[in-house]
Amino acid sequence: MNVDTHLVRLVHDILFREWDPLGVNDDEGAVREYSRYVVGIVQLLRRGADERQVAEHLLRIQENALGISPCDPQQDQKIASRLLAAYEISQRRIRPARSAEELLERYQAGERVFNGSRIETDESGILAGSTLDGLVLRNAFVKLSFQRASLRSADFWDSELKGSDFSQADLRGAKFVGSVLSDTSFKDARLEGAEFNNACCQMRLLETGEFPDS
């Protein structure tokens, strides 16, 4: 994943998950609601805009494009700060996480992409019940407990997840394309819109529209 793709993903995630002036982010079908504004914000960040300029840009989007009156200017300033932090994160080299604790700490600091991580033990169970929406864990090898975690639109493309536990997790819109899911639990998980095509589950490949047994 290159720098540009990383930044676009981070900005999109912040707009939909955190900004969401239309209040639609409970519906994964609306995940692209703010996609048309991502490029403009990315260009603004690249030009070195400060927090005030980014907040003013968000205000104009609401008033001119969405046709609504912003009700909380402080929220726009908070999101502007998050977008500036995302830009700084995107300029760094993507680094795998070495433990569940490190992954959670970096996620909470604003990172989303942890491709290539190898985490085989999680004695603390620290990720259970955590909010990890938009997590990207491609080409990874992990055995973790994500019980009751929120993982909406998470991306586990081509990852080996043997023995991981996603029971009662919110996996709406998540992607497990090409992943290895042997002994992986999805008991009582929310799977609306999740993709499992070509995932290997109990020695067979799942087809488009199929879900693994819980």
Q: How confident is the model at residue 72 (pLDDT cuts 50, 70, 90)?
A: confident
Q: Is 107 exposed, middle or buried (0-12, 13-18, 19+ CB in 10 A)?
A: buried
pLDDT of residue 201: 83
3-state secondary structure of 141: strand
Single out the residue in 60, 91, 122 at which a domain terminates.
91
Count of structural domains, the chain: 2
- 212 in a domain, yes or no? no
Query: Of 45, 64, 91, which residue is a domain's last?
Result: 91
> How many angstroms separate the Cα of 196 from the Cα of each of 116, 129, 131, 201, 214?
19, 22, 21, 9, 13
Residue 178 lies in a domain: yes
Q: Is it the case that residue 88 has pLDDT exceeding 80?
A: yes
Regarding whether 104 and 73 lie in a shared domain, the answer is: no
Are 199 and 113 found together in one domain? yes
Query: What is the tens place of the pLDDT at every residue in 131-180?
Result: 999 999 998 999 999 999 999 999 999 999 999 999 999 999 999 999 99
Determine, yes or no, domain membership for 214.
Answer: no
Same domain, 62 and 12: yes
Same domain (yes/no): 136, 86: no
Residue 84 main-chain phi, psi, to 5 deg: -65, -40
211 falls within a domain: no
What pLDDT, on the 0 to 100 scale, is given for residue 182?
86
**In the structure encoding, which two tokens stand for residue 29, read together?**
């079908």
Output the CA–CA distances (angstroms, integers) from residue 7 to 39, 65, 69, 89, 133, in the order listed.
Answer: 10, 22, 28, 8, 16
pLDDT value of residue 77: 92
User: Structural domain of residue 152, as residue ranges?
Assistant: 97-205
Per-residue confidence band for 214, with pLDDT thresholds at 50, 70 and 90: low
Q: Which amino acid type is present at position 116? A: G
User: In this structure, are 70 and 105 located in the same domain?
Assistant: no
Q: Considering the domain boundaries, does residue 12 fall inside one?
A: yes
Cα 142 from Cα 107, distance rounded (Å): 16
Structure confidence at residue 209 (pLDDT): 76
| Bridge partners (DSSP) listed for residue 141 | 118, 160
* Residue 42 confidence (pLDDT): 95
Of 56, 91, 126, the residue that ends a domain is 91
Which pLDDT belongs to residue 28?
A: 82
9-55 pLDDT, tens digit per residue, is 889 989 998 899 999 988 888 989 999 999 999 999 999 999 999 99
Is the pLDDT score of 3 beyond 80?
no
Q: Do 29 and 105 have their domain in common?
A: no
Residue 19 lies in a domain: yes
Kindly report whether the global pTM for this prediction surpasses the value 0.85: no
Q: Where are the beta strands (DSSP E) in the chain?
A: 118-119, 141-142, 200-201, 204-205
Indicate whether 213 belongs to any domain.
Answer: no
Amino acid 2: pLDDT: 58
Shared domain check, 136 and 37: no
